[in-house]
Structure 1
Amino acid sequence: MTSLKPFSSPHAVSSPDDRQNAQTRIRLRIPKRYQQEPIISNLITQHGLTINIRAALLGANAREDGWFDLELHGPSIQIESALMYLNDLDLEIWHDNNEDGW
């Protein structure tokens, strides 16, 4: 299993053609202060991505932060935009560049 790396650059996904469909997998911590915000829904509606929730960990009655293992599918430029959106919210994001070793 490869090690996870915190997301640190909006250019984590690169492609010779930004319109080319791509896939990336991230792990994301959403603090409880955002529990009323449709963050994952916004990835779909505002960034045009298909999201597959591979796993999630939520506390009882939403008293804890939420942890999500997400696959993001869509054009590379849209994935990059979505990652910048999550970064702008100051969420903890872990990104693995080696998709096969996740």
Structure 2
Amino acid sequence: MVSQNTLTNKRIRVRIPKDYRQEPVISRLVSDYGLTVNISAAILGANAIGDGWFDLDLQGTPEQIDSGLNYLKELELEIWEDNNIGNW
């Protein structure tokens, strides 16, 4: 059984639409949900045109990670979890 205080890691890929460019989406994962976030890869459109794609390594308790993922889902962002996309 995993303790709720045990830190765990989760890899996700998230699409941030260009309309969210001014929103601190990733920053809120840290400040509001207590996650450690590492951006392992990112693609952004030139001159702020197009959507951004981010590969994120999230670290936190299972509850923190679930809350952070729920936040991203509430924003209706596209999210791929590592078990859904294979090798990236």
TM, length-normalised to structure 2? 0.90
Residue of 39, 43, 51 corresponding to 1:53: 39
Q: Distance in 2 between matches of 1:45 and 1:66?
A: 21
Residue in structure 2 matching 1:83, options 58, 69, 74: 69
Secondary structure, counterpart of 1:29 in structure 2: strand
**What secondary structure, in the 3-state scheme, does the structure 2 residue paired with 1:83 have?**
helix
Higher helix share: 2
Shift of 1:80: 0.5
CA RMSD of aligned residues (A): 1.6
TM-score normalised by the chain length of structure 1 = 0.78
Identity of aligned residues (%): 57
* Number of residue-to-residue matches in the alignment: 86
Q: Which runs of 4+ in 1 moved over 4 A?
A: none
Which ranges in structure 1 are unaligned for 5 or more consecutive residues? 1-14
User: What's the counterpart of residue 70 of structure 1?
Assistant: 56
Please state if 1:27 is matched with 2:13.
yes
Name stretches of at least 5 consecutive residues in structure 2 with no aligned partner: none
